[in-house]
Amino acid sequence: MRPPARIAPIIGLAYVLAIAAADRPQRGAASSTASHATASDATARIVASAQALLATLDDAGRARVQFPLEGPQKTRWSNLPSGIFQREGLRLGDLTPAQRSSVMSLLSAALSRDGYRKVTDIMRGDEVLRTTASAPGRGPGAGQGRGGGGGGPVTFGEAEYYLAFVGTPSVTEPWMLQFGGHHLAINLTLAGRQASMAPSLPAAQPASYTVEGRTVRPLGNENDKAFALINALDDTQRTQAVLGYRVSDLVLGPGQDGRTIQPEGIRASALSAAQQSMLLDLAREWAGITNDAFAEPRVEEIRTNLPQTYFAWSGPTTNGSAAYFRIQGPTLVIEYAPQRGIDHIHTIYRDPTNDYGAKFTRK
Amino acid sequence: MTLTIAIVGSAQPSAHRVDEYLQASRLAIDPRGVQIELDLTPGIALAEAIIAEIDRNRDGSPSADEQRAYASLVLHGLEVAVDGRPLPVQLGSIRFADNDAMRRGEGTIQVQASVTLPDLDIGAHQLRFRNNHHPHGSVYLANALVPESDAVGVTAQRRDPDQRELTIDYELRAVPAPSTVAWLLASFAAASMLSVFLIAAVHPVTALKTWRARRKPGLLR
């Protein structure tokens, strides 16, 4: 029996939609397979870079960089300088130029282009701080020399960044690349095509400096995108987003693993599509530090959870002011906390469900 | 590469906490009690005064008793009330950073405490927390943790502008006890099995009736 003429277009539309729906999983699967291949390739490149670095080290160096996967090193990281916090691993200042170059090649493989720039800008900023400022409680000239760990001289600068492998670099088995120093902690857990860069702590002091006439703001995008977002909210939305109290530091900074605070602020479901895009773009500043092959699925996960994600703000809303903000969703916590002014910023990036790659390292 | 560098703006020498005493509190509510975690970090300018408060005999080495006495002093400054009813705070574990770390403005005193809640009815309740310890020169953080128990749901948090005071609105919900859940699951499983037996018992009769009907004249094809 032929359908009546007036419902024929509806049936035709349903047919087209059915074909599209049937096609979608196939295209999704194809895309997913491609993404798996890309992620696997990225892991292979990172592992190859790690092995190239290991080949430049003697036995003592290899022993210094390598830690067991389930030991205390996994959660041993901080934003503090050497002398207050004792890091383990390979210290950049102890390496030959070739070895140091291998470390930077490894970071280049593990991070996106923007992520690598951010990390090196933070390190260079710390060198600026070392050469122009005093260490805590010490006179000018502090920041020189070798960090001795807790109780030793306070030391920071580009030489005071440490690399560690927690677990053996592998293209299939879980392991972690740790890189950090004053105002930086990158904890990248890899397991085949899967990766998690949580928890990580990109920070900056000074927040702005010039190198050879070029102004560098390691966390400038984070700052500017956040101010753009808060100013894109209407009065009603802003009332929900702005917390009525001062937040003077990170709530879930170093040492706060496994804790989840009650979310506050405005829920992203109350934002327009354009505002949601701005929020996602802001979160990408952290999620996108890692290699693009791992960052893209992570951003998609954040996008999927956006309706359950909150944006909270404390402080003035005029760019150039010191303001704290937090993005918190089912798989995401980002905090941005200026420290007594705009020139010293702490941030934290966490995944309450996958810090240290818990999802894929759990036995 | 030769670096030609200059700091833009108002950069200060390594701006670790100087003249502030950071007091961060996290509160975890469950149906029976409240767990309180306090992280206290004196700034460089305040460290000697705090160390002196801890090291009462001034021997330069705070003893376990002196540390416990200081933690008790901290708890003495806390106010906790549920539905307007003040409740005592019990001291749990403590961990003190060494004096050198505190003198650098990065040593943290960690105090864990707990409050036992009375039996509360199912429904809405309010927890009020106030930190009066060292009010001069302190900055505060106070947050409710997401409850681990499904029986508790935080519905709102309110603070004063300095976060010295935190009021948590929460709901106490009726959650079936594990034994009740197990009983319900067992009942469901038993009912399902009984249904299977009944269907098996009824189905052959239905099939037999159908077969007989088909054998009647006029119904055969």
First to last CA, chain A: 59
Count other Cβ atoms within 10 Å, centred on residue A297. 18
**pLDDT band for position A363 (cuts 50, 70, 90):** low
Query: In the 8-state DSSP scheme, what is residue B131?
Result: E
Q: Do B14 and A248 touch (CB under 8 A)?
A: no
- What's the gap in Å between the CA of B85 and the closest CA on chain A? 24
Distance CA A162, CA A180 (A): 5
CB contact under 8 Å between B163 and A245, yes or no, is yes
Residues facing residue A214 across a β-bridge: A211
Q: For chain B, how far is it from start to end, CA to CA, in angstroms?
A: 97
* A245 touching B (Cβ < 8 Å): yes
Stretch A39-61: mean pLDDT: 97
Give pLDDT tens digits for A178-190.
Answer: 999 999 999 999 9
Q: What part of B 13-42 touches A (C-beta under 8 Å)?
A: 13-18, 20, 22, 24, 26
Q: Which of A185, A211, A191 is nearest to A350 (CA)?
A: A185
Q: What is the pLDDT of residue A252?
A: 97
Among the residue ranges A13-27, A307-321, B18-32, B154-168, the one predicted with the least confidence is A13-27
Of all residues in chain A, the percent with pLDDT exceeding 90 is 79
| Long-range CB contacts for residues B191-194, cutoff 8 Å, separation at least 24 | none
Specify the range with the lowest mean pLDDT, choosing from A151-165, A241-255, A303-317. A151-165
Residues A123, B75: Cα–Cα separation, whole Å: 41
Does residue B42 surpass a pLDDT of 80? Answer: yes
Least confident of A77-91, A200-214, B3-17: B3-17
Helix (H, G, I), strand (E, B) or coil at A157: coil
How do residues A281-302 score in pLDDT, each as one tens digit?
Answer: 999 999 999 999 999 999 999 9
The predicted structure's pLDDT at residue A106:
98
pLDDT at A229 over 60: yes
Does residue A339 sit at the B interface (CB-CB below 8 Å)? Answer: yes
Q: How far apart are CA B180 and CA A284, in angstroms?
A: 45
Determine contact, residues B30/B173, Cβ cutoff 8 Å: no
On whether the CB atoms of residues A43 and A192 are closer than 8 A, the answer is yes
The one-letter code for the residue type at B32 is: R
pTM for the model stands at 0.83
Question: Is residue A356 helix, strand or coil?
Answer: helix
Are A209 and B141 within 8 A, CB to CB? no
3-class secondary-structure state, position A140:
strand
State how far the alpha carbon of B126 is from the alpha carbons of A195, B83, B84, in Å.
Answer: 41, 5, 8
In chain B, what residues touch A341 (CB-CB under 8 Å)? 10, 12, 15
Q: Which amino acid is located at B120 in the chain?
A: L
Report CB contact under 8 Å: A249, B161: no
Q: How many residues does chain A have?
A: 363
Residue A204 is classified by DSSP as B
Q: What phi, psi does A196 have (nearest 5°)? A: -140, 130
Residue A301 distance to chain B (closest CA, Å):
21
Higher pLDDT, A199 or A147: A199
Instruction: Give the count of beta carbons closer than 10 Å to the beta carbon of residue B199.
Output: 10
Element (H, E) at A267: strand A266-267
Residue B183 pLDDT class (50, 70, 90 cuts): low
Residue A271 has pLDDT above 90, yes or no: yes
Q: Confirm or reject contact between B148 and chain A (CB < 8 A).
A: no
What pLDDT is recorded for position A309?
Answer: 98
Interatomic CA distance for residues A150 and A87, integer angstroms: 10
User: Quick one: pLDDT at residue B175?
Assistant: 79
Compute the distance between CA of residue A326 and CA of residue B171 in angstroms, rounded to an integer. 25
Indicate the helix (H) or strand (E) that contains B210: helix B178-215
How far apart are the C-alpha atoms of B11 and B6, rounded to whole Å?
10
**Domain layout of chain B by residue ranges:** 7-172, 178-214
- Across chain B, mean pLDDT equals 83
Rounded mean pLDDT, A39-51? 96
Residues 6+ away with beta carbon under 8 Å from A121: A204, A216, A217, A218
For residue B6, give how far its alpha carbon lies from the nearest alpha carbon of chain A (Å): 5
Percent pLDDT > 70 in chain B is 72
Cα B116 to Cα A27: distance, rounded to the nearest angstrom: 56
Spatial separation of the C-alpha atoms in residues B56 and B48, rounded to whole Å: 12
Structure tokens belonging to residue B46: 């305040």
Residue B4: its chain A contacts at CB < 8 A?
210-213
A81 chain-B contacts, CB cut-off 8 A: 14
Is the model more confident about A321 or about B219? A321
pLDDT at B26: 98
For residue B177, the model assigns a pLDDT of 61
Mean of pLDDT values over A205-213: 95
Gyration radius from chain B CA atoms? 32
User: Residue A350's pLDDT is what?
Assistant: 98
From chain A residues 28-67, the ones with a CB under 8 A of any chain B CB are none
Beta B90-96 vs A90-91: how paired, if at all? unpaired
Question: Where does chain A have alpha helices with state H?
Answer: 8-56, 59-65, 97-110, 113-132, 220-232, 235-241, 273-287, 292-304, 358-361
Q: Quote the CA–CA distance of A55 and A299 in Å, as a whole number.
A: 34
Average pLDDT over chain A, rounded to an integer: 88
Q: Which residue of B20, B145, B163 is in closest CB contact with A259?
A: B145
Q: Which of A33-37, A121-125, A231-235, A264-268 is the least confident region? A: A33-37
Token code pair at residue A360: 């894929």
d(C-alpha A18, C-alpha A12), whole Å: 10
Residues A272, A275, A279, A280: is their CA dihedral positive or negative? positive
pLDDT over 80 at A346, yes or no: yes
A249-278 residues touching B, CB cutoff 8 A: 249, 251, 259-262, 264
CB A160 within 8 A of CB A94: no
**How confident is residue B105, by pLDDT bands cut at 50, 70 and 90?**
confident
Contact residues, B window 94-133, toward A, CB-based 8 Å cutoff: 98, 100-101, 103-106
Quick check: B201 pLDDT over 80?
Answer: no
Percent of chain B with pLDDT over 90: 65
- With contact defined as beta carbons under 8 Å apart, do A345 and A337 qualify? yes
Confidence (pLDDT) at A11: 42
User: Sign of the C-alpha dihedral, residues A316, A319, A322, A324?
Assistant: positive
Enter the ipTM: 0.82
- Residue of A207, A248, A260 with shortest CB distance to B22: A248
The whole-angstrom distance between A34's CA and the closest CA on chain B is 37
Q: What confidence category does residue A17 fall into, taking pLDDT thresholds of 50, 70 and 90?
A: very low
Average pLDDT over every residue of A315-335: 98
d(CA A361, CA A354): 9
Is A291:A117 a contact under the CB 8 Å cutoff? no
Taking contacts as CB-CB distances below 8 angstroms, the residues of chain A near B161 are 244-246
Q: Tell me the count of A-B CB pairs closer than 8 A.
A: 136
Cβ partners under 8 Å of residue A52, min gap 6:
A102, A105, A106
The answer, yes or no, to whether residue B213 has pLDDT greater than 50, is: no
Beta bridge partners of A155: A82
A242 CB-contact burial (10 Å; exposed 0-12 / middle 13-18 / buried 19+)? buried
Q: How confident is the model at residue A20 (pLDDT cuts 50, 70, 90)?
A: very low
B126: helix, strand or coil? strand
| pLDDT for A152 | 67
Structure tokens at B139: 């900055």
Cα–Cα distances (Å) from B20 to A316, B2, B39, B157, in that order, read 21, 38, 13, 25
| Rounded Cα distance, A194 and A357, in Å | 8
**CA-to-CA dists, residue A89 to A11, A80, B109, angstroms:** 66, 16, 27
Q: Which of A94, A258, A76 is nearest to A150 (CA)?
A: A76
The C-alpha atoms of residue A328 and residue A221 are separated, in whole angstroms, by 19
Q: Are the beta carbons of B9 and A247 separated by less than 8 Å?
A: no
Residue-wise pLDDT for A107-155, tens only, equals: 999 999 999 999 999 999 999 999 986 544 433 334 443 333 345 678 8
